[in-house]
Structure 1
Amino acid sequence: MTFEVNILGCGAATPTLKRNPTSQLLNVHDKYYLIDCGEGTQLQLRRFKFKFQRINHIFISHLHGDHYLGLLGLISSMHLLGRTKELHLYCPPELKDIVEVNMKHSETFLNFEVVYHPIDYKVPQLILEDNTMEVHSFPLKHRIKCAGFLFVEKPKRRRIIKEKIEEYNLVVPEIVRLKKGQNIERLDGKVITFEDATLPPYPVRSYAYCSDTAYYEKVLETIQGVDLLYHEATFLEEHAKRAKETFHSTAIQAATIAQKAEAKKLVLGHFSSRYRELNQFTAEAKTIFPKVELARDGMSIIL
């Protein structure tokens, strides 16, 4: 089943022709989840051929414009194109006021309900659970309150061995039991064990999204052992002082978090527009953590 991170924008506060403001589309089992929604996000969704009416859950890390200014336009387009299904926003409590004031003064009456789920920015919390995944928010260290998000796939069932279906003439209820890890005893006394008829489930996959943040080791409590870590790296090490002043991170700091979290892979993003070339970000990060990649608009990472 699908578990794919799609980078819609990898830039920081000021967009460039090659780097849109921050936004990502997570596809888990063919369900779409939007993470942050910087200016121009709906155009990026069109550009990379994602149907944005399939998005039912949007996660906004904080209220700096490069992370949410595309939201009003996206909601407006959803409305104009006939959406009726409710839309869930996991966000700062103040975002509700921002959206509703805009709708009021533009005299826009949405055809669908926007359901707000305010984030607690003081402690980690479970903010969404469905039949495929859990989503947890956790505090980051930024100039204003800001949250990261951890997406964890739910454990899967065991996998039936196709040849065993014919060998034992298995029917659907028996297959279901075996996949649950239960043995089958038939009327003639024959026992079919789940170890014989199935394979272990695929391992669960996880993705941690660390939006704008200074170096902050408390995130390790939540993201330890994550498969894929996205961590902002606004600055190179030569601008570490500026990173500290603005509550952002350097590539080396992001790599240090990945190393201490024992992440399997690191993706860097949120690059300042002052940098035209980004190769130095990779070079600096790899001095600490070898499995690192740079985010770029249109990039897809499959777990």
Structure 2
Amino acid sequence: MEKFELYILGCGSALPTNRHFATSQVVDIRDKLFMIDCGEGAQMQLRKSRLKFSRLNHIFISHLHGDHCFGLLGLISTFGLLGRTAELHIYSPKGLEELLAPMLAFFCRKLSYKVIFHEFETKEAALIYEDRSITVTTIPLEHRIPCCGFLFTEKPGLNHIVRDMVDFYKVPLFEINHIKNGADYITPEGEVVLNTKLTIPATPPRSYAYCSDTIFREKIIDQIKGVDLLFHEATFAQSELARARETFHTTAEQAAFIAREAGVGKLVIGHFSARYEDEELLLQEASAVFPSTVLAKEGLCVQI
């Protein structure tokens, strides 16, 4: 099975602590790296993860709060110091390019590569990235400013060839791609060999959904239905429900409700408030609703 992994670089919220870095993640799909949010310290954590800087070409910013994007300038500068030549694509709600342009002009005047900004709307889900293997679609969230999550979905693969049967029927090499795409094989004698004899179904496509920051929002359930892995913010315990509503955040129990109703495979909770020195309470509250829940932590790698 091809690689599809989530690396947690930071899982804290806005107020810095000595336990967590600000929000940042990397999704590794077949050795292509996609960063989600880039809080302070993201490049340090990227170093610790031993992921190759050169394989990171796409960064997705959920919203323009500092704990989700203050690490960008440093990372862009470091890429320049490393002699990067490949384009860097940054996807975000409107306004990021305008904010970064003066700083890039001052601190990164002679970059050896291009930084290309892609703006997306946050009201409706939209396809913002696609290659041969995956699509990335926005998930409209509700926060104090425009905000979106991201849905990473593998494209369906081709059927797998049953080598013994292909050899038995002496299938020519030029027919293999047709068979992988579902075609039957007709022998020189006119016999029809059904595709189901020659192949086995491809591995079901996998998916990952990232939802941070947002108030409790049931509208996302339909879009993330059945994903293999969900990261959902769980800034507060249920005792702080009023505070969660006031700040447009979610409790751990609410995040677990979303995971249960969407029928996801596994839930990772994060974006923890600095008030919690031990997030075990948040894990207990979430697990009571959705048992397949784990706490985010720096250095955690989850295989999908």
Q: SS state of the match for residue 197, structure 2?
A: helix
* 1:276 counterpart = 2:277: yes
CA distance in 2, matches of 1:165, 1:255: 47
Asked if structure 2 preserves the Cα contact closer than 8 Å seen for 1:62 and 1:146, the reply is yes
Partner of 2:120: 119
Q: SS state of the match for residue 222, structure 2?
A: helix
Residue by residue over 1:231-263, the C-alpha shift from the partner in whole angstroms, topping out at 9 and shown as x without a partner, is: 000111111111111111110010111112121
How many Å apart are 1:34 and its aligned residue? 0.6
Residue by residue over 1:117-150, the C-alpha shift from the partner in whole angstroms, topping out at 9 and shown as x without a partner, is: 1010111111111110111102111111111111
Partner of 1:217: 218
Partner of 1:131: 132
Partner of 1:301: 302
How many Å apart are 1:52 and its aligned residue? 1.5
Give runs of ≥4 in structure 1 deviating > 3 Å. Answer: none
CA distance in 1, matches of 2:58, 2:137: 13
* 1:234 counterpart = 2:235: yes
Asked if structure 2 preserves the Cα contact closer than 8 Å seen for 1:56 and 1:87, the reply is yes
1:174-193 paired onto structure 2 within 5 Å: 174-193=175-194
Partner of 1:109: 110
Q: 1:107 to 1:268 in 2, by over 3 A?
A: closer
Residue by residue over 1:26-50, the C-alpha shift from the partner in whole angstroms, topping out at 9 and shown as x without a partner, is: 0112211111111011110101101
Q: Pick which of 57-66 and 165-174 moved more.
A: 165-174
Q: 1:218 to 1:298 in 2, by over 3 A?
A: same
Q: SS state of the match for residue 127, structure 2?
A: strand
CA distance in 2, matches of 1:107, 1:180: 48
How many Å apart are 1:106 and its aligned residue? 2.8
How many Å apart are 1:14 and its aligned residue? 2.3
- Structure 2 length normalisation: TM-score? 0.96
Partner of 1:141: 142
CA distance in 2, matches of 1:298, 1:107: 29
CA distance in 2, matches of 1:29, 1:194: 28
CA distance in 2, matches of 1:106, 1:5: 31
Asked if structure 2 preserves the Cα contact closer than 8 Å seen for 1:103 and 1:109, the reply is no
What is the letter of the counterpart of residue 231 of structure 2? Y
Partner of 2:199: 198
CA distance in 2, matches of 1:159, 1:107: 48
What is the letter of the counterpart of residue 115 of structure 2? V
Structural RMSD (CA): 1.3
Q: SS state of the match for residue 143, structure 1?
A: coil
How many Å apart are 1:158 and its aligned residue? 0.5
CA distance in 2, matches of 1:27, 1:47: 15
Partner of 2:289: 288
CA distance in 2, matches of 1:270, 1:126: 25
CA distance in 1, matches of 2:122, 2:115: 21
What is the letter of the counterpart of residue 145 of structure 1? P
What is the letter of the counterpart of residue 187 of structure 1? P
Asked if structure 1 preserves the Cα contact closer than 8 Å seen for 2:270 and 2:295, the reply is yes
1:40-59 paired onto structure 2 within 5 Å: 40-59=41-60
Aligned length: 303
CA distance in 1, matches of 2:269, 2:173: 45
- Structure 1 length normalisation: TM-score? 0.96
Partner of 1:15: 16
The runs of 5 or more residues in structure 2 that have no matched partner are none
Identity %: 47
CA distance in 2, matches of 1:127, 1:300: 25
How many Å apart are 1:166 and its aligned residue? 2.9
What is the letter of the counterpart of residue 2 of structure 1? K
Q: Pick which of 27-36 and 171-180 moved more.
A: 171-180
Asked if structure 2 preserves the Cα contact closer than 8 Å seen for 1:210 and 1:232, the reply is yes
Asked if structure 1 preserves the Cα contact closer than 8 Å seen for 2:77 and 2:107, the reply is no
CA distance in 1, matches of 2:153, 2:44: 28
How many Å apart are 1:184 and its aligned residue? 1.4
Asked if structure 2 preserves the Cα contact closer than 8 Å seen for 1:9 and 1:19, the reply is yes
The runs of 5 or more residues in structure 1 that have no matched partner are none
Q: SS state of the match for residue 293, structure 1?
A: strand
How many Å apart are 1:107 and its aligned residue? 5.7
